[in-house]
Chains A and B, each alone.
Chain A
């Protein structure tokens, strides 16, 4: 069984909880005291991941770090439908990789701003916010053009892929870093579609789709 080294408020850990929930796979979690304990920088954790970052998984003796890498692994191994990471379609795989890298850029900007505002990380928050807006603008246009062509998801497939999962959390949490999303209507519609995928689950700060969300 997969063991996830996990922190509840981490959007990167949530990427994996989300995919595993959508795939309906069971897993174990080892809670890490990311804040305030900085357990991800402790000696024992650095042996698991010398980068001192969450998430990490262990599965059948394999230790893997990096949310995007783990999404690829889990989808390749545990998705019988083969849609989340379609291994036989080179063009689509290229697209997915492109947007997985983009997702890491969202972590470097939108998530950084959130850590600054919420957990007092010292960094240039204005630069982080500006960087996030630049990425959101690019994604919003991409999604808007996709909608014109009848494409609902980030990549050229009739279904969501791991790229959608990877981009989703820190976009949804962006307001906690002072990054409003009202100028990105196509992103908002895409988030709503993602929330309606079977098996969708929430994390703290992200609410389910629909009328439950108070104005």
Chain B
């Protein structure tokens, strides 16, 4: 096997998302890029899929029968997506127990190409401070601009960052909202390039909507962002729910693409503490501890 272009073993050993299973045309080779490598995949349309390093005899668009394929990469089907790994991945992907709840709407809001490193995108996802300015009149509005005190911890047994007690006033928290509300958030970062957020459901105050961003690192400064929704909403059509999330993501996109430097600096002195707030500091520290070097500017040692 040829050496991988990415030399970061931590990242090579992760599971990475490639595509929303439901959107993959059946029995036809599809191409994508993961960690600078050309990758092909196919779905049989009936819940089975395969992933391999692209090869000349199976170009994109050609018909293929999964059962006759050899030399495939590890594969996992989870949360509506095809995942693979270029290294030795763990047996399990991080859990999202809510995904199993039958009354939830589970959708890929979209898969979007963004010119940014995966860690920068995660950090933006964790930051509530931008809501009133970037998602004006949807996820925030002046004068409600203050990010109130919240808690961040590194859950050792789960090896993930968890931020709790986040609260924010939101004019239009979701498609099911009927007006402004104080919304409670929980953020999890269970994977260096994936984050899951939980926010108060406007339809059931005892439950939380789940929104996740799964980033496929194309290279160190480009991602495919897969946006998973797992929400309570019996009113709206799929496309209305997707539109809401795409509107929000479309607002983030120019902000993400204008980050400089594109890779996330892990040196604690690299950026001012205002931008790198509490959860961002924890995330950067966690990446440093894990030894992640791909998509970041490692701290000087």
Contact = CB atoms under 8 A, between A and B. Distances in A.
B195 interface: no
Interface stretch (A33-41, A97-105, A155-163): A33-41
Interface residues of A, number: 23
A175 interface: yes
A212 interface: yes
B111 interface: yes
B150 interface: no
Interface string B49-77: 00000000000000000000000000000
Contact of B251 (A33, A204, A212): A204
Interface string A36-63: 1101000000000000000000000000
A138 interface: no
B111 A36 contact: yes
Contact of B243 (A8, A118, A176): A8
B238 interface: yes
Interface stretch (B164-172, B253-261, B266-274): B253-261
A117 interface: yes
Interface string B95-127: 000000000000010111111000000000000
A118 B255 contact: no
Nearest to B225: A118
A37 B107 CA distance: 12
A121 B268 CA distance: 39
A205 B239 contact: no
Interface residues of B, number: 27
Given A31-B239, A36-B108, A212-B133, A8 B246 contact: yes
A113 to B, nearest CB: 12
Contact of A178 (B115, B238, B239): B115
A175 B257 contact: yes
Contact of A175 (B23, B113, B254): B254
B278 interface: no
Contacts of A8: 243, 246-247, 250
B242 interface: yes
Interface of A: 7-9, 31-33, 35-37, 39, 117-120, 175-176, 178, 203-205, 207, 212, 214
Interface of B: 20, 23, 108, 110-115, 133, 224, 238-240, 242-243, 246-251, 253-255, 257-258
